[in-house]
Amino acid sequence: MNGHVKNMPFQLFLEATTTFISLSLLMAVDSTKTVAVRRNQACGNALQQTLKITKLLQKESIDLTNIYKASQGEISELFCTGVVNDIPDPNIIGLETSERLQDAYMKLQAFFPHFARVYEQQTDLQPPSSPLLSALTRVSIRSRDLAFPMRSFYQNLFPNLPPLEPEVGSTELPPPQNVFQQKVYGCVVLKTYKEFLSNVSRELRTMKGKVCRRRRRMMQINAMVSL
């Protein structure tokens, strides 16, 4: 009887210690889940914003191409069948998701100087009131707006990789062109950009609901292993 009484404080201590450890583990797991959910939400929000702007740009690029053709004269369809060197490849390449996002971002940046050149050429060919000039300006600005959420999505998805940065001075523009060459160049740039946006939209839809959830599961697994 006395021995049993003497062992009671020690048993209570063990029970209290076990309860404390269990509660600590549960709190740690809950905290990890909370962090994972918040980061997953940030990842998903950045993806949604990127996809939303891409879809809007995709629609506007179709309208822009049609406006461009209408402003170039009777043989505008012929202009769009030409071949122009040094325009970004509209296809997204890379084995890993990080590589494909990086490729899309770099190509997006590479289109900006081409838009500036097309606008400059069309300013000489079109009247100031031309709807083409305002449409070119709108799509150019919107395209730059796409760069920020795309970069944010990449950083949320791959926080341990270097942030996306454009390659300064990496875009080559064509030499001086005659009027016919300018019209071909402008149409091919816009047609290629429209195809590029379609590919980016397809890539983002493929990632939607997959990469952010996979990242959350990996974070939870790593947290449990560290415990």
How far apart CA 198 and CA 58 sit, in angstroms, is 6
Residue 60 confidence (pLDDT): 95
Structure-model confidence comparison of residues 153 and 40, the more confident one: 153
CB atoms within 10 A of CB 6: 9
Q: What is the pTM of this model?
A: 0.76
Contact 173, 117 (CB under 8 A): yes
* Range of weakest confidence among 8-12, 54-58, 74-78: 8-12
- Kindly indicate the confidence band of residue 64, based on its pLDDT and cuts at 50, 70 and 90: very high
Contact 49, 164 (CB under 8 A): no
